[in-house]
Structures are given as C-alpha cells and as structure tokens.
Amino acid sequence: MSKGHFGKFGGRYVPEMLIPALEELEKEYLGAKADKNFKNEFNHHLRNFAGRPTPLTFARNLTEKLGGAKIYLKNEGLNHTGAHKITHCIGHALMAKRMGKKKIIAETGAGQHGLASAAVAAKFGFSCKVYMGATDVERQRPNVFWMERLGAEVIPVSFGSKTLKDAVNAAIKDWIENVEDSYYLLGSVVGPHPYPTMTRDFQSVVGKEARKQILKEEGRLPKRVIACVGGGSNAMGIFSGFLKEKNVKLIGVEAGGTGNAAGEHSSRFNGGSLGIVEGYKSIFLQDDDGQLQKTHSIAAGLDYAGVGPELSYLQSKGKILFASATDSEALNAFELLSKYEGIFPALESSHALAYAIREAPKLDKEDSIIVNISGRGDKDLFIVANALKDKQFGDFLKAESSKDGYNE
Amino acid sequence: MNKIDKKILELKDQGRMGLMTHLVVGFPSIEKTISYAKIMEDSGADFIELQIPFSDPIVDGPTIMNACDVALSNGTKVSNAIETMKILSNELSIPLLFMAYYNNLFKYGLERFCKDSRTAGASGLIVPDIPIEEEPNEHFIKTAEKNNLYPIRVLSPASTLERMRKNSRVAKGFIYCTARQGITGVRNRIDPKTVSYLNSVKREINVPIAVGFGISGREHILSLSKHADIAVVGSAIINVINKDYSKAEAKMAEFVRSLLFDT
Ligand SMILES: Cc1ncc(COP(=O)(O)O)c(C=O)c1O
C-alpha cells in the first residue's frame, strides 16, 4: 500500500492526535490482509450473517419496456440490514476485534451504515455510538428506531448543515477523544488513509460476484456498470470487478437534487473543486474560500459534499464517467422498478437506476448493463409516501401518532 | 528576526511563562475581534492566535465550532481575516499568528495566502491538519518559511518518539503540544499525564513548547509553568464573550489579567 494517495487525491490530512491511530490501523490491516484466517472468517460471516452472495437479477419486464440493452440488477438490497453497507461493516468489526477494541463509533447519513454498524456491534459484542445529522435523524427515523433496538446510541448532530458531513466530523472528534479503546467504523470509501482502501477491499466482493454472475448469464461482460455515488463504497465495490476492462463503461451517478445551484444538489463532479477536508484530498462542493457548501438530495445517503478520493482519481483518468439524476427522476425510477420488477430500490440506488433507464434504449439488445441496487427501499417508506402525496398514508400516520404508546 | 523569537527571548529574560490567547476572526464580528485583540495585548497577552473560521473544524469542540458558525454566517471571508491581521499588526506589537484549517489556505492558494499573511504582519501559522507526511505533496512548511512565517508544528500525547523527532527537525518558533488527547474545549482539570508528556517532549526537542487545549485558569497555567514556555487559552476566552456580548470587553481584560497574575 502506498501512503494512500490515488494520484493527487487521498492521503492522510489529519491532526497529529490521529496519526498514530491511523498508522496502527494500517499496520494491523496489512497483517489481516495476509492472514488466511481473517479472510476465512470474513467470508464465513458474509455468507452466514449478511446472506452473500446477493443475486444478479435479470429485469426482464423493464428491459422489454425500454427496448434496449438487457438490464441486470445486482441486488444488494437482499443483504441483511438492507444494503451493501453490512459487507464492509463485517470487515471492520473483525478488524476491531483483532485490535482488541471495545467500542465502535460510526456516522451515518441514510442510517443504513449506522444500522449495519449497530448490527455488527450487537453480533460481535461492541458498544456502539452512531452520529447522525439532526436533519437525517428527522427524515430517517425508522432507521434510528432500529439502531436503538440493536443497542446503539444514536447521537443527533446539530452543527453545520446537520447532515452526513457534520456526522463524520462529530464521529472523528469522538474518535480523537477515545482513540485508545474505540474503533472508528467509517461508512464509505472516504476519510484519511487507510479507510478508502480498506473499505474498497471489503466491498470488492460485490464486483467479484457480479462479474462471475454476468459471465454465467451472458457469457460476456456488460457494456455498462452503473452505481450511485454518495461517498462511493457501493460504487467502488462493484466497479473494482471491472476496472481493468476497456470495453466496460463504469458510470457513477450523483444526486442532481432539485437544481444546479449550490445547495440544491450533491453532484461533486458538477460544481465541485479540489479540496482537503475530513482527512482526505478529493473533489468537494465548496465555495471559493474552501468552506463546504450545503447539499441536497431526496436520498440522505447521497447528500454529502465530498466523494471518495479513488473515485476522483478514476474520474480524472477517464475510467469512471459521472452523471447525475434528479430527485424526481429517482422517484420515477423507484416507481418503475417496483411496478415492473417487484423490487423496491433504495432512493440512493434509484439514482443509478434512473441513469440506466436513460441509457438502456441507446444500446443494442444484445448488450447488457448492470445496475447496482445498493439497498432496498423499505427505509424510504415515509419519504416516498410523502413525495407521492399519499393522503391515506398521512391519515394513517395521524391515527398512529395519536395512539397511547406515543402520548404517555 | 521573527517576532516570535524576539518574544521568546524576552520571556526567557523575564523568567516567566508566556500567554497566547485565541480569537475566531469575525466572532461575534470583525470590529469586536479587533477590539478584543487590543484588550488582550493591553492586559498582558504575549501572543494572539487568530483563527480563520472554517465550516468543518476537525479539532474544535462545540465552543469554537459555534464561534466559527457565527463568524461564517456573518460573512467572514479569508480575505477579511487577512485584513484583520493587517489592522492588528499595525496597532499591536506582540506577535500574531493565524490558526487555520488547511483547506482554507489551499483554496485561497497556499503561496498567495502565505504572501498576503506575511504582508499583513503575521508571524506564524498553526495549521493542525497538515501533517509532515504530506509535505512532499503540499510544500506547506517550505512555502510558509519562504515567506518568513513560522509553520508551527503540533504534537499530541499520542505522538511517538519518532514523530516528536520528525516534527522537531522542522520546527520553528515553538512546538504546540495539545495538553490532552482530544479536541478543544474547557476542562475542569489538567490531565495528570500532561506533565510527564511535556517533559518527554522537552527531552527530545530544543524548541520552546506551547501547551494548549483545555486550559482555562491561572491554576492550570501554574501547574504547567515549569514544563512549557507558553500557555494557550482558547475556548475559555470564547466563553467570556459568550456569557454577555455587551460586557465582553471589560470581562475580557479582567479574565486575561486573571490568567497572568495572582488575585
Ligand atoms: C442504499 C445506499 N446506497 C448508497 C449509499 C451511498 O453510500 P456509498 O456511495 O458509500 O455507497 C448509501 C448510504 O447511506 C445507502 O444507504
């Protein structure tokens, strides 16, 4: 491993108090990587706890409707806890165990990484604190509830923009204070070295599976692999299986939100610039003074001002193309997949799907594309119901909230 | 000669520990920052650290974070911080340093920032999130020195011997040791391990030592005075401002004097 630079991106731009801890983590990780037992244990829990491998599902009806390339769905939503996040959480939990840590600190946006962190903490016997922006606590309450049931303490962060970036800041600060007995379980391929590398490595199982599965189904590689990009963990996971292939185009889909102005979207590659925040150098949505800007997305997991350094590097080399999908395109994709394929995609993943819907008709019928359905949409029940203006659901909520249990 | 060196010689002559006080530029306003800084010098502060407000201050606790939020919502820009530095360096004689996060310098342009800061009269830069390992990519130390600004190195109780030595080799002016493994913010007591850690730093390096993080009163300073050369007081000062904006000037003078003299 280099010092964690991907070209000019990445690195370890942290205060002195974290450097020894990151050096130790890197050293331990290199040890674990070379350790057969670690690998076996990781694979064991992926199979028997997370439910891997996840299927690659041919979306026949949607393909026929769109009349272009065959659309395959890598259904990460079938993982335990409902998203790809459990995969790297198992890897990190095993690292925490190996290092003799007692506590897990995590941050979360949509709550999916927090949920997966809380689940592995329960399973492997760690205490768990999850930092979550106050805005995200409000819009992802079901996940907060479930995290708490798993025994985690969810701490709302009401500084700054009250979303994922602020949760990351708060989690790092907790780690600085408690570095001795705590393991920071960072939720995506962001942050200081070695996090982007470790989390990518853990997630790379998704790319390996998808590659094998598509070859089995189609006998050849797909033309496109499409993934949504918040920090970039699900994207790096699936892309890593196809990075060396010249004829497979990799497309990262960012949140286009409601418009192009600052604060209306989270498309780092459409308005962002090079910066150094939260321990890594990458593309950030920031003003000309280097202050991070507010971001927006209907999908909390994409609502983040930074992006993994390796993705910025691969973008700069032309190996990953970036596109965006708006809130309403994502909602539309959500509805299409539900009605045509019987699958609720997470709103994050719906962004990738929205791009695929645009792209498939332009390709040959013989071609195939893979869309990473990074999570399932159950967690988005309230957001979708509201966006669809489902009045009866609103009445149901009112009736529910007047029940005794909530009013004592 | 850099003003920081002159000040340190003066402290040695007088046989006393120096005091560095802290302000966030633009909190609660630029005018107030300027007036507080003058009061600090008049009340006996030896150095002032002017923090450039940042949206994501990774080593700061709630007190300074909130001050940054207020300063930014007042519209404080990096260029305003440099103008403030210029005004203050004309009016004050003690050394003034910028405390900042690296991204603000990077976006402003490191070379341009160093040049403008020097022209504005700054003596040093305290930038906690630019470790020595990134120097080959960023040339922060080199660029600061080229502009006659001291790039102050930061150590923490978690720093290994190797890291102490590595940082001390490039240290200029003084080394900033965080009194505890943690973030900024007022604490009731000084961690008992702080003294032995400061002593081990002293054994390894031959630049003066500043100690900060959690220091809020004269008794803290006295307990550290034999083990470090400069005490840094940050969040405790902001708390004085927070208590009552309208009386902050009078309270500020009183507080700074209370740090320096027995009452
Ligand atoms: C289902 C789902 N997909 C995607 C993301 C975005 O994260 P990443 O880009 O790291 O995969 C999240 C984050 O919370 C998520 O829950």
Kindly report, residue by residue over B154-209, the tens digit of the pLDDT: 999 999 999 999 999 999 999 999 998 888 888 888 888 899 999 999 999 889 99
Indicate the domain borders of chain B.
3-153+215-258
With a pLDDT cut of 90, the percent of chain B lying above it is 90
Phi-psi region of A184 (alpha: psi -120 to 50; beta: other; left: phi over 0): beta
Which amino acid is located at A218 in the chain?
A: E
Yes or no, beta carbons of A176 and B181 under 8 Å apart:
yes
For ligand 1, which residues put their CB under 6 angstroms from it? A 83, 109-110, 112-113, 188, 228-235, 301-302, 346, 348-349, 374-375
Cβ of A278 within 8 Å of Cβ of B159? The answer is no
Domains annotated for chain A, with CATH where assigned, are: 5-47+84-195 (3.40.50.1100), 53-82+205-387 (3.40.50.1100)
Q: Cβ contact (<8 Å) for A169 and B61? A: no
DSSP string, chain B: --HHHHHHHHHHHHT--EEEEEEETTSS-HHHHHHHHHHHHHHT-SEEEEEPP-SS-TT--HHHHHHHHHHHHTT--HHHHHHHHHHHHHH--S-EEEE--HHHHHHH-HHHHHHHHHHTT--EEE-TT--GGGHHHH-HHHHHHHTT-EEEEEE-TT--HHHHHHHHHH--S-EEEESSSS-SS--SS--THHHHHHHHHHHH--S-EEEESS--SHHHHHHHTTT-SEEEE-HHHHHHHHH-GGGHHHHHHHHHHHHHS--
How much is the mean pLDDT over chain B? 95
Percent of chain B at pLDDT > 70 equals 100
Asked if A121 and A93 count as a contact pair (C-beta separation under 8 A), the reply is yes
The CATH superfamily of B3-153+215-258 is Aldolase class I (3.20.20.70)
Which of A55, A57, A58, A112 lies closest to A87 in space, CA to CA? Answer: A112
* 8 A C-beta contact, residue A249 and residue A371: no
> ipTM score of the complex?
0.95
pLDDT score for A3: 77
**Predicted local confidence at residue B189, as pLDDT:** 85
- Residues B114-136: pLDDT tens digits? 999 999 999 999 999 999 999 99
Centroid of chain to Cα B232: 7
The mean per-residue pLDDT over the stretch B197-222 comes to 93
Chain A partners within 8 Å of B66 (Cβ): 159
pLDDT tens sequence for chain A (408 residues): 457 999 999 999 999 999 999 999 999 999 999 999 999 999 999 999 999 999 999 999 999 999 999 999 999 999 999 999 999 999 999 999 999 999 999 999 989 999 999 999 999 999 999 999 999 999 889 999 999 999 999 999 998 889 899 999 999 999 999 999 999 999 999 999 999 999 999 999 999 999 999 999 999 999 999 999 999 999 999 999 999 999 999 999 999 999 999 999 999 999 999 999 999 999 999 999 999 999 999 999 999 999 999 999 999 999 999 999 999 999 999 999 999 999 999 999 999 999 999 999 999 999 999 999 999 999 999 999 999 999 999 999 999 999 999 988
Beta sheet of A153-157, edge-to-edge order:
A153-157, A127-133, A103-108, A182-185
Pairwise CA distance, residues A348 & A334, whole Å: 10
Q: Quick check: bond before B28 cis, omega within 30?
A: yes
- Give the bridge partners for A72, in sequence order: A58, A370
Nearest to B107 among A169, A177, A288 (CB): A288
Res A1: pLDDT = 40
Burial per residue of A259-290, b for 16 or more beta-carbon CB atoms within 10 angstroms, e otherwise: eeeeebbbbbbebbebbbbbbbbbbbbbeebb
Partners of A184 on chain B (C-beta within 8 Å) are none
Question: Between A16, A173, A278, which is nearest B156 by CB?
Answer: A16
Least Cα separation, residue B263 to chain A (angstroms): 33
